[in-house]
Amino acid sequence: MASAIQKIALNASRDIPFNKLVLSQSNVRRVKSGLSIEELARDIERRGLLQSLNVRPVLNGEGAETGAYEVPAGGRRFRALELLVKQKKLAKTAPVPCVVREAGSAILAEDDSLAENVQRLALHPLDQFRAFRDMLEKGMSEEEIAAAFFVVPTVVKQRLRLMTVSDKLLDIYEQDGMKLNQLMAFSISDDHTRQEQVWEIVSQSHNREPYLIRRMLTEKTVRASDRRVRFVGLEAYLAAGGPVMRDLFEADDGGWLQDPTLLDRLVMEKLAAAAEDIRTEGWKWVETALSFPWGHTRDFVEIDGTPVALSEEEAARLSALHSEQETIEAEYAQADEFPEEVDIRLGEIEQAIEVLEERPMSFDPADMARAGAFVSLDTDGTLLVERGFVLTEDMLAEPEDSHDEAEGYDDTVVHHGTGDDVEGIGMEDTFDPEPEEEDGLKPLSDRLLTELTAWRTLALRDAFVGNPHVALTEFLHTLVRDIYWQTPGADCLEAYVREISLPVHSPDMPGSLPAHALRQRNEGWKHDLPEDEDALWHWINGLDDTSRLALLAHCLSFGINALHESSHGPSLARSVRERLARADRLATVLALDLAEAGWQPTVENYLGRVTKARILEAVREARGIEAAERIAHLKKNDMAQAAERLLEGAGWLPEALRTANVPERTEREEGAARMTDSHDAVAAE
């Protein structure tokens, strides 16, 4: 006959007056963790005690029960009740539900205390989300939920944000198929189909980092920090019904705009309105674009304008600003640094002075009747207006009515492309992407090499200007070669000086750091030059040596030519090789670093224009073999986009842009460290 299974007997439970309870020294929790005693007391006050205390009888010296009970398990609840008694919110004799362990039990008090704290499982974040959602649906507000659980409302909003994630992905997370920070990354979008597509892609890859998920979900959106958004204003976009994607778990700088077409329409409408205002000034034509290519004004003659004089009020304001600036600088002359509020005020003063000193120009109405203006967006999202440009044929013609059309222009606003992909004057419409099946390390196309070396030429000019000593050396070297060696076409500096145009270039070049620096420098010199050309010689003669060398370097920089050109015939090919060799030498002497100058590989300027083998080579050099292997299975377009994200900030350069003896800033070690840290952080979740 089988023996019956012995039944266990649970410990008795009963109410014990609070004043009969004392905290046991056997309680293992000594370090404060999680919810504070004050918060727990408020929670007990609101909802009552949800969990009994675990107690044992206190024995006297003879082993008899004294009527008091010690609390080895439930010490924080005991302290919370004690606080409520002190606050006179709970009577000293209030009955407290307790589970009583018999005296002399073989189970140690420390054993019970440890078991209560260890033998429990923290609530799964998904269960917390579902509980918050149910309470929200039953009428509690986010603020009420936050107050009930002593968390800030942001935590509740973050958990409720998981409502935007596909049920399929929630199920995968529930089965431990993905990490919490990966799930949070998916909450940036409410497009369940796209979420599932992205998971299908990343789940087959070694790289499942949250940043990659966010980038894939936002790749067809526009950042709120984009210059177009700054131009029209986020409020205008929202007022037009444009949706915005926000990230509650990471800093998102305002989020992502999900309707680029609407944004571009708002931009062009605002540009058109600005163009009409500028047209009423009396210009013959006004042309608009999001951006114009580098050198778009070279075929025009620029008419002279006169700076508008300061009004009495503006002059007084400028004088007061200068006085305040001098007073502050004198007061803190001996200090190591300015206090924060003083530094902020100095910045405000400098901006106000700059606005007053950069005077608008006035033009002769007769000149305006034959001239026009270019209206576009500057790199900081402000309106950029370039006035006073005349076509060569219009310089010879009689001024016409300001409302007549100029040859080649009409009264409509001209839009050269959408988004940041802008085609403009002198730009060809075709790229030369490599066929998908051509995966070898074939040579770069002539056009791509020309675009890359145009970027390098521009950066080389900027670096050249900054080193008058090298500029003078190169100038003398060219003159001596012309006299004694006479090899036409082989110099990287045309010393007479003929400006070398850069009609073929990537769309990002006009807004680059070198382009901005050269424009600013050129405007500065134009402002300083005498109005009368006859006075130019005496003006130059009166400059100090430092200014003369700086002006020399600036003028010579326009002749820098480091361009790759397709060559036909051995003589021309030799000249191009010699010119590029001299450009390499100049770049080395100037320690030119194209990554420092702002060039970085994108789908548009490099990665979408080369074979898959070239893309993988770039990622392998910059981020290592493992990173390249993670994207090796992708199709060409997807691989190029993934590589752009991987190479961001790596400082990697194609061979045509590298400078000898200048270390490459690929940051491979830093990238590996960041990936390791990221994996560790995910594991820690």
Q: How many angstroms separate the CA atoms of 77 and 71, rounded?
A: 10
pLDDT attached to residue 427: 37
| pLDDT bracket for residue 252 (50, 70, 90) | low
Which percentage of the chain shows pLDDT scores above 70? 79
| pLDDT bracket for residue 664 (50, 70, 90) | low
| Rounded mean pLDDT, 396-401 | 52
622, 652 contact by CB (below 8 A): yes
| pLDDT bracket for residue 30 (50, 70, 90) | low
pLDDT attached to residue 490: 58
| pLDDT of 201 above 60 | yes
Cis ω before 244 (30° cut-off from 0): no
The whole-chain average pLDDT of the chain stands at 77
The one-letter code for the residue type at 579 is R
| pLDDT bracket for residue 262 (50, 70, 90) | confident
Best CA proximity match to 100, nearest among 86, 84, 112, 115: 112
Which percentage of the chain shows pLDDT scores above 90? 10
Beta strands in 212-311 (DSSP E): 222-223, 244-245, 256-257, 285-288, 300-302, 306-307
| pLDDT of 404 above 50 | no
| pLDDT of 668 above 70 | no
Nearest 5°: CA angle at 661, between 658 and 666? 55
| pLDDT bracket for residue 433 (50, 70, 90) | very low
Best CA proximity match to 580, nearest among 566, 591, 597: 566
Q: How many angstroms separate the CA atoms of 531 and 321, rounded?
A: 29
| pLDDT of 665 above 70 | no
DSSP 191: -
pLDDT attached to residue 461: 84
pLDDT attached to residue 94: 92
| pTM for this predicted structure | 0.43
Nearest 5°: CA angle at 639, between 638 and 644? 100
β-partners of residue 493 are: 560
| pLDDT bracket for residue 277 (50, 70, 90) | very high
Q: How many angstroms separate the CA atoms of 210 and 185, rounded?
A: 5
β-partners of residue 390 are: 301
Tokens of 437: 């099946």
